[in-house]
Structure 1
Amino acid sequence: MTMGSRMAGSALFRHLGPRLFSAASASRSSAALEPSFSLLQSSSLSPSPVLLRLFPVRMASTSASPALGGEAHKEDEAKSAAAVHPSEGKHVSSYWGIERYKITKEDGTPWRWSCFTPWEAYKSDTSIDLNKHHVPTTFLDKIAYWTVKILRFPTDIFFQRRYGCRAMMLETVAAVPGMVGGMFLHLRSLRRFEHSGGWIRALLEEAENERMHLMTFMEVAQPRWYERALVLAVQGVFFNAYFLGYLVSPKFAHRVVGYLEEEAIHSYTEYLKDLEAGKIENVPAPAIAIDYWCLPPDATLKDVVTVVRADEAHHRDVNHFASDIHYQGMELKSTPAPLGYH
C-alpha cells in the first residue's frame, strides 16, 4: 500500500507539477511587473528601450486599458469610437479615408455627383460646323477612311435604328482612343524628360468626355445582356488594335478617330431626325446630363443629343488636327494642345 501510494503521488506530481509552477511563475511575474507598468503610465517619461524590447505589445499602447474584457474596456472602446468620429454624418471607410468638401450648386442645393465637379461642367458649343470633312488624299488616309466605313456596316445591321443602344456601343469605343493616346504620350514624356505641350491632358479630357456620354445614355437605354457581351468583345478587339496602330503610326491612329467622329456626327443627326419625327419619345433629359452640360431644368433628350453631337464634332477637329501635325513631320508637343476644346 505504501509503495502504491508513493507511485500514485509521483504520477500525480508529474502531471500537475508543471502546470502549478508555471501558473505560479506567471502570477509572480505579472505581480512584479505591475508596479513598473503603473509607474510608466503615471510618469511623463518615455519607457526605456529595454522594456520596449521585452514588452513591445503592451508598451505600444498609450492608453491604460485592461488586458482582459470588462465594463471598463467597453467604455474605453466607446470613448475611442467617439473620438474618431467627432461630428455626426461623417463616414470614414478606413484610417486613410478622406472626407470630400461639401459642394453646392449656384442655387445652394447639394451637388449630387461624385464623378465630376461643378467646375468641370460646361456649355457645349453647338454652333460648330457639323459638315466639315477631311477628304482622304494620301494612301494612309484612304486606308483609315475605308476602315471606318467597313466597321460601320455591321453596326448598321445590328442596331438598325435603335439609336439609344447604338449610342452606348459607340461611346464604349469612342472613349478608348483618347486614353490610349494619352497613355502613350505620358510614357514618352517620362522616358524623354520632356513636356507634352498639353496633349496628354487634351486626350484624357476627350476620353473622359466620351465616358460621360456613355454614363448619360445609360440613363436613357438599358443594354440587354447580349449587347453587354458585344461591348466586351468589341472593346477588347478595338483597344488592342488601336494600341498597335498608335504604336506603329500615330498619324494613322488619329486619322481613324477623326473619321470615327464624322460617323458619330452622322449617327446622332439621324437620332435627332427620329426624335423630331416622333419615332423616338423625347423624354426629359437625365439629371446627370443637365448638370454636366449646364442645360436648363426642362431640357429633353433632344437637347442632350444635340450637345453630344457637338462634342463629337470637336473631337473630330482635334484628331484630324493631331494627324495633320504628324503629317507635317512634327510631334504633338511642338503645337499647343486645344485644352478645354470639347
Structure 2
Amino acid sequence: MLRSLVRSTVSIRRASRSAGAVNTTALPWRGLSSAHKGDTTTSISDHSWRQQNHIWTEDEVQERMRTSGLKHVPQRASDVVLQQMVRLAYHSFNAATGYRHDDPPTKAIGYRLIILESIAGVPGMLGGMFRHFRSLRQLERDHGFIFTLLEEAENERMHLLVCMRFFEAGPLTRVVVQAGQGVLTPFFA
C-alpha cells in the first residue's frame, strides 16, 4: 500500500512538471473530496486557486472613468429603504468622526480611517475561521477560500498599520475600536 502511494506521488510529480494537469483517477486520495464531481482532471499546483491581479489597459481605465458618475436608481421599495439605511449610516459616521465632505479635517480623516480599517478586518477573520471549522467538520479541503478570507483580514490590518504611521490613536479611539469589534463580531458571526 505504502509503495503504491509513493509510486503514485512520484508519477504525479513527474506528470505535473510535464503536463500541468493529470487524470485524477490515478491519484491515491481520489474520492476524499466531492468538490470536483464529474471533473476528471485537475491542476496539480497547490496554488492554482490564487487570484491574479488584473492589469488594466488604458481603454478599460477610460471606460470606467467615463461611467464613474452613473448612479443606481432604486426600483422597488426595498431598494429605497436600503439606500436610505446606507445614507443614514454614512452621514451618522461622518457626524461621529467630524468628517465634512467639502473640507475634511486631517484629524477626522485619521480617526475615520483608524476606525474603518480596524473594523474592516473582522469579516475576513470570522469568515476564514468559519470556513476552517467547516472544512474540519466535513473532512474536506477548502480549495483556498480560507486563505483568501484570511488574506483579506491581513490586508485590512496592514492598511490600519499604515494609517497608524500617520495618525495617533488616542484612548477614546482605542475604546471605540474595541467596542466596534465587540459589537460587530457577534453580528457577523
Name the TM-score class by shorter chain.
Answer: 0.5 to 0.7
Distance in 2, Cα, partners of 1:221 & 1:150: 27
Give the direction of change, closer, same or farther, for the CA distance of 1:210–1:141 in structure 2 (3 Å limit).
farther
Alignment counterpart, residue 223 of structure 1, candidates 152, 166, 169: 169
- Which amino acid counterpart does residue 153 of structure 1 have in structure 2? H
SS of residue in 1 equivalent to 2:129 = helix
Shift of 1:192: 0.8
Q: Does 1:157 align with 2:95?
A: yes
Give the direction of change, closer, same or farther, for the CA distance of 1:149–1:180 in structure 2 (3 Å limit).
farther
In the alignment of these two chains, the number of paired residues is 120
Match of 2:32 in 1: none
SS of residue in 1 equivalent to 2:181 = helix
- Which amino acid counterpart does residue 92 of structure 2 have in structure 1? P
Distance in 1, Cα, partners of 2:76 & 2:135: 29
Moved segments of 4+, more than 6 Å:
136-144
Distance in 1, Cα, partners of 2:70 & 2:120: 18
Distance in 2, Cα, partners of 1:193 & 1:229: 40
**1:69-118 Cα deviation digits (max 9, x unpaired):** xxxxxxxxxxxxxxxxxxxxxxxxxxxxxxxxxxxxxxxxxxxxxxxxxx
**1:41-63 Cα deviation digits (max 9, x unpaired):** xxxxxxxxxxxxxxxxxxxxxxx
- Which amino acid counterpart does residue 95 of structure 2 have in structure 1? I
Shift of 1:222: 0.3
Distance in 2, Cα, partners of 1:227 & 1:149: 23
Match of 1:204 in 2: 150
SS of residue in 2 equivalent to 1:166 = helix
Distance in 2, Cα, partners of 1:154 & 1:201: 34
- Which amino acid counterpart does residue 219 of structure 1 have in structure 2? R
SS of residue in 2 equivalent to 1:222 = coil
Please list, as runs of the form range in 1=range in 2, the aligned pairs for 1:293-308 lying within 5 A after superposition.
Answer: none
Distance in 2, Cα, partners of 1:197 & 1:134: 36
Please list, as runs of the form range in 1=range in 2, the aligned pairs for 1:175-214 lying within 5 A after superposition.
Answer: 175-214=121-160
TM-score (norm 2): 0.53
- Which amino acid counterpart does residue 158 of structure 1 have in structure 2? A
- Which amino acid counterpart does residue 155 of structure 1 have in structure 2? F
Unaligned runs of 5+ in 1: 1-123, 244-342
Give the direction of change, closer, same or farther, for the CA distance of 1:214–1:185 in structure 2 (3 Å limit).
same
- Root mean square deviation of aligned Cα: 3.3
Q: Does 1:173 align with 2:111?
A: no
- Which amino acid counterpart does residue 122 of structure 2 have in structure 1? V
TM-score (norm 1): 0.30
Q: Return the index of the structure with the highest Cα Rg.
A: 1
